[in-house]
Structure 1
Amino acid sequence: MSQVLNPLPEAALELSAPALQQLPPLEIAERLAEHFARTAAERDGLGGTPKAERDMLRKSGLLSLLIPTELGGMGASWPLIMKVVRTLSRADSSIGHVYAFQHLMLATVRLFARPEQWGAWFEQTARHNWFWGNALNPLDRRTVSRRFDGWYEFAGKKSFCSGALDSEMLVVSAYQQESAQIIIAAIPTARSGVQVIRDWDNFGQRQTDSGSVNFERVRIEDQEILADPGPLSTPFACLRPLIAQLILTNIYVGIAEGAYAEARSYSLREARPWFNSPARQFEDDPYVLHHHGEFWAGLDAIRVMADRAADMLEAGWQRGPALTESERGEIALAIASAKVLATRTGLDLCTRMFEVTGARATHAGLRLDRYWRNLRTHTMHDPIDYKLLELGEWALKQQYPKPTFYS
């Protein structure tokens, strides 16, 4: 059922850990989102690490949402995880981003590693509320590895390492000097030789800490290498890039929903009708109503597309190693379609929201431009032109997208 996106309430909420942990996961996310929204504009200006907010996520129990109940987690499905990501992103897409990448990193070790590896990491994550950060970035080949007897050495630098600051664990990668093969591992962030650099200062997603990580002769033990079955080695392992793409899609949907909630609130409470409008109140102006109708239709469409893709992902996840290439291909198409539509709809809404608010809504203190800045920054992650190319290959030639780290 469609639901109006009302402005986030201002009433104080009880956010103690015991109280939160008694609630269903989506309600926990909604309570946290209400809290995060109050300072989102101010923190957007500050940048840096949202330490207090990350600690609230730790205490909430939501970091273990993906982890099976038998390992101490909540055992949630992908549709529920994506709804939590969307809820947090609606309030603050930086927090939604680092929270979403927690589950991408956990999925990475689940899909690429042996059960005794990922099982131990999952159990420790649930027990200690570990945050996982990203230092994988397969397109950045500056980090190289050397093989020794029973261990590897990583040396170099990685960029776009979202959530690496204030994390307990990292998923990292390097290229072997001899074979140019990618090596992926899971290691403690505090490992000797790992330096997380505070150099993220982009105009959007300003509190994702998506800067750089240096590796100074970092020792990686064999049992930390994700090699069995390894990266993109089976159709099931190839779900990893699809999870990444659907995570991004739901962040985009959340940003668009947040922008719309702000625009609607401003239309109803602050905006004034144009001097020659036939309406006495702004909310009765026919052009304003027309724009809101377009926004709503776009939001309805991208929610449906994202939810359908999440249901398909969950079905593929439950198939496990029995997943076939064609089944994986169908999931890839659904996610690509949802991502293209969410990108275009979100950017349009975040730009045109000012057509239903008026000139006063551009006041710098409101920082309503952060929705466009956040979405524009995030949608540069990989070009939708190449998503459309993949969809075109299917539409015209019935060829599924070839699995890569981005498709």
Structure 2
Amino acid sequence: MNDRRRPPASHTASARRDASLSALIETLRESAARRDLAGGHAGAEKQRIADAGLLALAVPREFGGAFGGAFGEGGLRWGALYETIRAIARVDSALAHLLGFQYLQIASVDLWGNAAQRANWLQGTVEYRWWWGNAVNPLDTRLVAQPDKAGGWRLHGKKGFCSGTWGSQMMTVSAHDPATGKPVFAVVPTTREGITVHDDWDPIGQRQTDSGTVSFDAVEVRASEVLNRPETPRASLRTLVSQLVLTNLFVGLAEGALDEARAYVLAHGRPWVNAGVQRAAEDPYLQQRFGEMRIQALSAAVLADRAASILDAAWEAGDDLDAAARAEVSLAISEAKIVAHRAALYAGEQLFDACGARATNAALALDRFWRNARVHTLHDPLDYRVRDVGRHALTQELPEPTLYT
């Protein structure tokens, strides 16, 4: 009797992802420094990500994607998606950001959409290989929603920090309703009449995230496009999915800086004149520096993996997820993000102490690891996140849901 069994669907999906990801990363690595210096839209690289079959990993299997949440052997879990983001971030954190926010918008539809919306937009993502942009930022109230007589809305104004909108086919958007003071959430095609995506993103880091300003001039939002976000713990997981995207970007940056420093020192490093050794790799102070970088990066990775596991469990709970369990996810992500934040900045700076003066050659763009980390670690204040963790350590009080926790 043949006892061999077919591998679980999750293993098959992981194998396909790993094969595509490995080749993609090597391609991105070859051009990462040059593209960072040039900035602008990475259209060709985004096409390679789409061709690698990575755009729909967060789409549930029932709609043709690879995601199974935490439900048995039915597909990939959040941990696998974050591993994908982190792997790309080691060589190109801007493109990892774009893919992470792709998964975030898909999760938004999955969490907030009704049955018809989920079927339409999630199946469409698989069939048409849509890139999704993000214009959801409730703190930016410049974009105003006015009721339309057809039962929908008209959008007037601007949104900033709209990651991934340039070159996208669909976008999620939030607008301010002056009558209620609450946000209106919706999905619209990026090419809809009245939408203008501005090429005005010019920061010191994360330069290819297409995160510029989007203008809306009387843009129609149909009633069928409005996302009715429920006030439930499960619906609020969208914020935590977002925060863990950023956490894994930081982990990838720390690991990538360590990899680049190691490669440079082994190929080009020279021992200091007073070191008394023949090779740079034998210098005990250099070994100590690499040890500190490794410890911080590894600590961040372990905490990020732990947080993803807790998120998976919360996702599995579905509508039974309660506020306390949701808060445990928030706490785990804050703990991971704090350590990853510090690790990314530390590794990006220590890279130069490890590699020496010649590593500052601008063409190498080795400063991109620190610059990318510095830009993204300003997303929300670290001090408030540390405060939440410290308050829990003292009083066992769990963090309250906010736009960032």
Alignment of 1:2-401 (within 5 A): 24-75=16-67, 76-149=76-149, 150-227=151-228, 230=229, 233-401=231-399
> Contact (CA 8 Å) 1:151, 1:220: kept in 2 or not?
yes
For residue 66 of structure 1, report the CA deviation from its aligned partner.
Answer: 1.1
> Contact (CA 8 Å) 1:30, 1:88: kept in 2 or not?
no
Aligned Cα root-mean-square deviation (Å): 1.2
SS at match of 2:275: coil
Amino acid paired to 1:24: R
Amino acid paired to 1:91: V
For residue 298 of structure 1, report the CA deviation from its aligned partner.
Answer: 1.2
- Against the structure 1 CA distance between its residues 261 and 182, is the aligned structure 2 distance closer, same or farther, given a 3 Å change threshold? same
- Cα deviation, 1:165-216, whole Å, max 9, x if unaligned, reads 0001000011112111100101100111010000000010000011100000
SS at match of 1:195: strand
For residue 345 of structure 1, report the CA deviation from its aligned partner.
Answer: 1.4
- Cα deviation, 1:131-156, whole Å, max 9, x if unaligned, reads 00001111111000111231101110
SS at match of 1:381: coil
Paired position in structure 1 for 2:6: none
User: How far apart, CA to CA, are the structure 1 residues paired with 2:222 and 2:14?
Assistant: 39
For residue 355 of structure 1, report the CA deviation from its aligned partner.
Answer: 1.6
User: How far apart, CA to CA, are the structure 1 residues paired with 2:203 and 2:359?
Assistant: 23
SS at match of 2:211: coil
> After TM superposition, what 4+ stretches of structure 1 lie above 6 angstroms from structure 2?
none
> Contact (CA 8 Å) 2:20, 2:53: kept in 1 or not?
no
For residue 254 of structure 1, report the CA deviation from its aligned partner.
Answer: 0.6
> Contact (CA 8 Å) 1:26, 1:83: kept in 2 or not?
no
For residue 23 of structure 1, report the CA deviation from its aligned partner.
Answer: 5.2
Count of residue pairs the alignment pairs up? 384
SS at match of 1:42: helix
For residue 356 of structure 1, report the CA deviation from its aligned partner.
Answer: 1.4
User: How far apart, CA to CA, are the structure 2 residues paired with 1:314 and 1:295?
Assistant: 29
- Cα deviation, 1:210-250, whole Å, max 9, x if unaligned, reads 110000000101111111xx16x100011111111100000
> Contact (CA 8 Å) 1:309, 1:335: kept in 2 or not?
yes
User: How far apart, CA to CA, are the structure 2 residues paired with 1:390 and 1:108?
Assistant: 25
> Contact (CA 8 Å) 1:143, 1:175: kept in 2 or not?
yes
SS at match of 1:253: helix
User: How far apart, CA to CA, are the structure 2 residues paired with 1:399 and 1:115?
Assistant: 36
> Contact (CA 8 Å) 1:174, 1:182: kept in 2 or not?
yes
For residue 26 of structure 1, report the CA deviation from its aligned partner.
Answer: 2.7
> Contact (CA 8 Å) 1:101, 1:162: kept in 2 or not?
yes
Kindly, what percent of the aligned residue pairs are identical?
A: 42
User: How far apart, CA to CA, are the structure 2 residues paired with 1:353 and 1:248?
Assistant: 21
Taking structure 2 as the reference length, the TM-score comes to: 0.93
SS at match of 1:74: coil
